[in-house]
Structure 1
Amino acid sequence: MVKVFKALGDETRREILKLLNEKDMNAGEIASYFNMSKPAISKHLDILRDAELVSSEKKGQFLIYSINTTIIQEVLGGFLDIFK
C-alpha cells in the first residue's frame, strides 16, 4: 500500500491516471499532454505500474497503458475502513 500512496502523491501521476480513466493510451500519447520529456513520463509510468495502478500490454510496437481500478478501489476501501 505504501507504493500506491507514493505513486498517488505526485500530481503528474494523478493526471496520468485521470487520462487513463478516459481511455487506454501509449506512452507517446500520454506524453503529449505534458510539458516534459518522454523518459520522464516513462519513469512516472514505471512507478504507477510498480504500484499496480496501471497495467501495460504490448500491441504491435507500442505498450498500451490501462488504469487498474481494482487496486484503487481496494486501497480506498482499506483506507476508509481505518476511520470506522
Structure 2
Amino acid sequence: MSDVFKALADPTRRAILVLLRERAMTAGEIAEHFNLTRSTLSGHFSTLHAAGLVERDREGTTITYRLRLSVLEEAWLGLASALHLGEETTRWKKNDV
C-alpha cells in the first residue's frame, strides 16, 4: 500500500491518472499534456506501474497505459480501515494520555 501512496504523492503522477480516468492513452498522448522530457515521464510511468496503478500494453514501439481503479480502491479502503474511518470514536481526554 505504501507504493500506491508514494506514487500518488506526486502531482504529475496524479495528473496522469486523471487523464487515464477518461480512457487508455499511449505514452505519446500523455506526453502531449506535459512540458517534461520523455525520460522524466518514463520515470513517472514506471512508478505508477510498480505501484499497480496502471497497466501497460506494448504493441511494437507503442506503449498504451490503462488505469487500474481496483488498486486505488484497495489502497483507499486500507487507509480507511487503518484510520478507523466510518467507525464511531471516543474523544481523547487530557487524562487518557
Does TM, normalized by the shorter one, top 0.5? Answer: yes
**Which letter does structure 2 place at the counterpart of 1:20?**
L
Q: Extract unaligned runs of 5+ from structure 1.
A: none
> Hey, what does 2:55 align to over in structure 1?
55
Q: Extract unaligned runs of 5+ from structure 2.
A: 85-97
Matches within 5 A, 1:5-84: 5-84=5-84
Tell me which stretches of 4 or more aligned residues in structure 1 moved more than 6 Å: none
Identity of aligned residues (%): 39
Count, aligned residues: 84
* 3-state SS of 2:57 partner: strand
How far apart are 1:60 and its partner, in Å? 4.0
* 3-state SS of 2:34 partner: coil
Q: Cα RMSD between the aligned structures? A: 1.0
